[in-house]
């Protein structure tokens, strides 16, 4: 599990690093309207791709994990799900193209919408779920990082003015489809695709439940951008995009451990090894609290500086939205824990659907009520409240169905330790007027004092179990490397 966690953490860090490098450049060159146009178009296409997926990216991990030790079953499961995915991708691509002729707003940039049909038509080539079910996180991580390096180079080479937003869209499409293509090319090493003797019907009922949950989830996680475009304008979409991207930029760290734990949790839950599950969940709970709370504090307190540094002063109007969205690492982090680490691995699809429907109703009501008046700020409020409702339902069902218990201590110690950020950031603001100097000083200082408070004042065990051994192992590996080169000095 340690190797899987390392590579999933590596992937999570790349999910943070590449947007930190790419989005500031693109947003400053293209501007809020350009970013808004691209985000609206990709969100619209990805929504059709999401429908085409039918919940397979979630359901597939669980089913592949169950069949991975039997090659014949593995071939059947993968082939059946791929055939279903292929068929729905074709159908949704036709529906997507038809919509372009009936909605007047899409006629302003027809070429961009036509290019985006590839995200729908080829959505079936997204098979990360297969490799994650096999727990081959190394493959997913290395492939993703290499493709992102090429896409980053392409951004700097091709995007030079506000008129180049079409290149931004094409690079997003290239990055997505290239990831999928590399996975497809090496697929034959792990599974054999067959077209005869398949039983597609057995997947339809569980897929329908997960699909309903996925679509419902998208109603308040993806549709907010689309609704903002329709109910407000692309400028508001651009501001909202900047706020959301910055608020979610560190989210992969919060959820990185969960993805690795899902296959093992699914196995232990199916065997009713609840004591082992409790031990795993305790660590996951502490991990989520340890990272999500200080990240949220930092995002809220440094929102103006982050907006200017990573987007430009043109996006300063997004500050309030970002401060509202800063709670997302906490709400999504614990929603992921209670939903995708407990309910999903144990097949509680009905409970997942009910929980998410609560978020859908909340999101739709708040978006239609707030967005016409508050635009991007209204969308931010709707997003946060919807996530809180969903997480609340997840917790309710876990408490109702299981006897798992969780200590509130990690939440309290993380919040108390994060309070030190306030004087540190106020001091840094008084010393620096340059936002880059301020961020480069305040963020490391906050992180250092947070860890010191957790370790020395609250004796947080997670530091001893995860962070300290990681640093120690890195130090020892460097020392061994130096010893091999200079045995007379380090021997």
pLDDT digits (tens, 9 = 90+) for 131-178: 877 777 676 677 778 888 888 899 999 998 888 888 989 998 988 888
Contact 137, 146 (CB under 8 A): no
Is residue 490 a part of any domain in this protein?
A: no
> Mean of the pLDDT values across residues 460-477?
56
457, with CB counted inside 10 A (0-12, 13-18, 19+), is exposed
Structure tokens that stand for 487 in this block: 């045995």
Give domain status of residue 331, yes or no.
yes
Contacts of 279 (CB under 8 A, 6+ apart): none
pLDDT of residue 91: 94
In a domain, 434, yes or no: no
Helix axes 71-102, 110-121, angle to 10 degrees: 160
* Joined tokens for residue 61: 């991990």
Q: Is the pLDDT of residue 5 over 60?
A: no
User: 223-267, pLDDT tens digit by residue?
Assistant: 777 788 888 877 888 888 888 888 887 787 777 666 566 666 767
CA distances from 136 to 8, 54, 132 (A): 10, 23, 6
SS3 411: helix
CB of 171 closer than 8 Å to CB of 151: yes
**Quick check: is 113 in a domain?**
yes
> Do residues 402 and 274 make contact, with C-beta atoms less than 8 angstroms apart?
yes
- Within 10 angstroms of residue 474's Cβ, the number of other Cβ atoms is 10
Cβ–Cβ < 8 Å for 64, 77: yes
Q: Do residues 140 and 5 lie in contact, with contact meaning Cβ atoms separated by under 8 Å?
A: no
Can you tell me which residue has the tokens 């200590």? 407
In Å, how far from its chain's centre is CA 402? 27
Is residue 204 a part of any domain in this protein?
A: yes
The CA dihedral of 248, 250, 253, 256, to the nearest 10 degrees, is: 30
Question: Nearest Cα to 79, choosing from 91, 67, 90?
Answer: 67
Judge whether 438 lies within some domain: no
Quick count: other Cβ atoms within 10 Å of Cβ 41?
24
Pull the structure tokens for residue 215. 């679509």
Angle between helix axes 251-270 and 328-335 (nearest 10 degrees) is 10
Picking from 458, 447, 456, 443, the residue whose alpha carbon sits closest to that of residue 411 is 458
Q: What proportion of the chain, given as a percentage, has pLDDT over 90?
A: 33
- 237 domain-assigned: yes
Structural domain of 264: 2-406
Could you report the per-residue pLDDT of 273-330, keeping only the tens digit for each? 888 888 888 888 988 999 999 999 999 999 999 999 888 888 899 999 999 999 999 9
Q: Is residue 426 part of a domain?
A: no
pLDDT band at 489, cuts 50/70/90? very low
Residues with Cβ within 8 Å of 153's Cβ and at least 6 positions away in sequence, in order, are none
What are the angstrom distances between the C-alpha of 182 and each of 78, 144, 176, 366?
17, 9, 11, 41
Q: What is the pLDDT of residue 487?
A: 46
Tokens of 359: 């978020």
> Could you give the number of structural domains in the chain?
1
Using pLDDT thresholds of 50, 70 and 90, give the confidence band for residue 342: confident
User: Given this model, what pLDDT does residue 20 score?
Assistant: 72
Residue 219 is predicted with a pLDDT of 66
The terminus-to-terminus CA distance of the chain in angstroms comes to: 32
Which CB contacts under 8 angstroms, 24+ apart, belong to 178-183?
A: 178/147, 178/150, 178/151, 179/126, 179/128, 179/143, 179/144, 179/147, 180/122, 180/125, 180/126, 180/127, 181/125, 182/143, 182/147, 183/125, 183/127, 183/128, 183/130, 183/131, 183/139, 183/143
- Convert the pLDDT of each residue in 22-46 to its tens digit: 878 888 888 888 888 888 888 889 8
Mean pLDDT over 119-138 rounds to 83
Is the pLDDT at 474 greater than 50? The verdict is no
How many angstroms separate the CA atoms of 81 and 191, rounded? Answer: 13
Check residue 465 and give its pLDDT. Answer: 63
| pLDDT at residue 472 in the model | 46
**What local confidence, expressed as pLDDT, does residue 3 receive?**
60
Compute CA distances 270 → 65, 267, 279, 342, whole Å.
Answer: 12, 5, 16, 11
Q: What is the DSSP string of 228-254?
A: HHHHS-HHHHHHHHHHHHHHHTTHHHH
Backbone angles phi, psi at 103, to 5 degrees: -110, 115
Give the chain's count of helices (H) and strands (E): 23, 0
Phi-psi group of 388: left, alpha or beta (phi > 0 → left; psi -120 to 50 → alpha; rest → beta): alpha
Mean pLDDT of 110-135: 86
Dihedral through CA 128, CA 133, CA 134, CA 138, nearest 10?
50
């Amino acid at each position: 599990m340690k190797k899987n966690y390392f590579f999933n953490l590596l992937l999570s860090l790349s999910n943070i690093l590449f947007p930190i490098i790419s989005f500031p450049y693109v947003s400053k060159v293209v501007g809020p309207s350009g970013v808004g146009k691209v985000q609206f178009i990709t969100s619209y296409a990805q929504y059709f791709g999401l429908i085409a997926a039918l919940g397979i990216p979630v359901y597939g991990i669980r089913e592949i994990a169950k069949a991975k030790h039997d090659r014949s079953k593995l071939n059947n499961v993968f082939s059946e799900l791929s055939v279903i995915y292929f068929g729905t991708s074709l159908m949704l691509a036709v529906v997507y193209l038809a919509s372009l002729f009936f909605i007047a707003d899409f006629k302003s940039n027809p070429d961009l919408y036509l290019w985006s049909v590839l995200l729908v038509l080829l959505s079936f080539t997204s098979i990360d779920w297969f490799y994650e079910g096999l727990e081959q996180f190394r493959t997913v991580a290395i492939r993703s990082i290499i493709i992102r390096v090429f896409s980053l180079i392409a951004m700097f080479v091709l995007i030079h003015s506000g008129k180049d937003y079409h290149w931004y869209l094409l690079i997003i499409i290239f990055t997505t489809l290239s990831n999928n293509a590399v996975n497809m090319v090496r697929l034959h090493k792990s599974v054999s695709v067959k077209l005869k003797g398949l039983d597609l019907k057995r997947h339809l009922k569980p897929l329908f439940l997960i699909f309903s949950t996925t679509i419902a989830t998208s109603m308040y996680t993806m549709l907010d951008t689309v609704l903002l475009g329709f109910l407000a304008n692309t400028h508001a979409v651009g501001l909202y995009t900047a706020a959301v991207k910055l608020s979610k930029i560190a989210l992969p760290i919060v959820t990185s451990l969960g993805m690795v734990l899902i296959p093992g949790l699914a196995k232990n839950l199916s065997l009713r090894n609840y004591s082992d599950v409790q031990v795993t969940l305790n660590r996951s709970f502490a991990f989520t609290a340890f990272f999500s709370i200080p990240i949220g504090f930092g995002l809220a307190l440094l929102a103006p500086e982050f907006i200017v540094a990573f987007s430009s002063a043109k996006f300063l109007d997004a500050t309030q939205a970002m401060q509202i969205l800063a709670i997302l690492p906490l709400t999504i982090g614990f929603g992921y824990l209670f939903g995708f680490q407990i309910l999903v691995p144990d097949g509680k699809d009905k409970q997942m659907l009910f929980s998410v429907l609560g978020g859908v109703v909340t999101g739709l009501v708040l978006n239609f009520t707030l967005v016409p008046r508050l635009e991007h700020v209204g969308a931010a409020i709707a997003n946060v409240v919807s996530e809180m409702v969903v997480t609340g339902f997840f917790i309710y069902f876990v408490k109702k169905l299981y006897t798992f218990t969780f200590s509130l201590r990690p939440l309290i110690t993380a919040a108390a330790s994060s309070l030190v950020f306030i004087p540190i950031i106020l001091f840094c603001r008084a010393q620096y007027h340059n936002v880059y100097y301020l961020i480069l000083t305040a963020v490391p200082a906050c992180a250092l004092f947070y860890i010191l408070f957790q370790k020395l004042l609250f004796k947080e065990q997670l530091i001893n179990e995860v962070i300290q051994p990681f640093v120690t192992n890195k130090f020892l590996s460097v020392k061994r490397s130096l010893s091999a080169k200079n045995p007379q000095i380090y021997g």
